[in-house]
């Protein structure tokens, strides 16, 4: 089963890091699961708690009050941009940049660092069957 976070339907719960730069972003993520390609092939949509752990973490922008809805987001790993759909579980030993537009005020935060690990915390909660047939 292939699965990916659909950033624009997710909720950001926490963005934290310590003095050593080890940090995380915690999402209640909208997840698309499918035997094919997430965001393209028919499958299931649901909610799952996802933790993105990052080394040498820095934050640009004002995080503000959380939780906050993610209106759009992308993860850049090296030269690869994953716009809106971020596969997981995954680990990348490269430089990373997670950009999110949050909440009603459309504030943008950029979380950067290296060595990202994307893991689940909790079970997938089914919401709907999704079918992208005919979608452009």
What span, in angstroms and rounded, lies between the C-alpha atoms of 11 and 120? 14
User: Which pLDDT value is given to residue 132?
Assistant: 76
User: Which pLDDT value is given to residue 64?
Assistant: 95
User: Which pLDDT value is given to residue 136?
Assistant: 54
What span, in angstroms and rounded, lies between the C-alpha atoms of 10 and 3? 14
User: Which pLDDT value is given to residue 135?
Assistant: 62
**Residue 88: domain span:** 2-130
Residue 136 forms part of a structural domain: no
Q: Taking the complete model, does pTM exceed 0.85, yes or no?
A: yes
Q: Which pLDDT tens digits describe the chain residue by residue (136 residues)? A: 999 999 999 999 999 999 999 999 999 999 999 999 998 999 999 999 999 999 999 999 999 999 999 999 999 999 999 999 999 999 999 999 999 999 889 999 999 999 999 999 999 999 999 997 766 5
Count of structural domains within the chain: 1
Residue 61 forms part of a structural domain: yes
Sign of CA dihedral 114, 105, 130, 31: positive
Q: What angle do CA 27, 125, 101 make, to 5 degrees?
A: 25
Give which of 102, 72, 77 is closest to 88, Cα–Cα. 77
């Amino acid at each position: 089963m292939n699965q990916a976070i659909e950033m624009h339907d997710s909720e950001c719960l926490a963005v934290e890091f310590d003095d050593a730069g080890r940090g995380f972003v915690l999402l209640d993520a909208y997840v698309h699961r499918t035997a094919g390609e997430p965001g393209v092939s028919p499958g299931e949509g649901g909610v799952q708690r996802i933790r993105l752990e990052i080394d040498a973490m820095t934050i640009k922008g004002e995080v503000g009050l959380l939780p906050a809805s993610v209106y759009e987001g992308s993860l850049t790993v090296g030269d690869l941009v994953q716009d809106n759909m971020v596969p997981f579980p995954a680990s990348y030993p490269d430089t990373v940049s997670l950009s999110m537009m949050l909440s009603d005020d459309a504030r943008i935060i950029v979380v950067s660092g290296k060595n990202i690990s994307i893991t689940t915390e909790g079970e997938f909660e089914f919401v709907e069957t999704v079918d992208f047939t005919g979608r452009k």
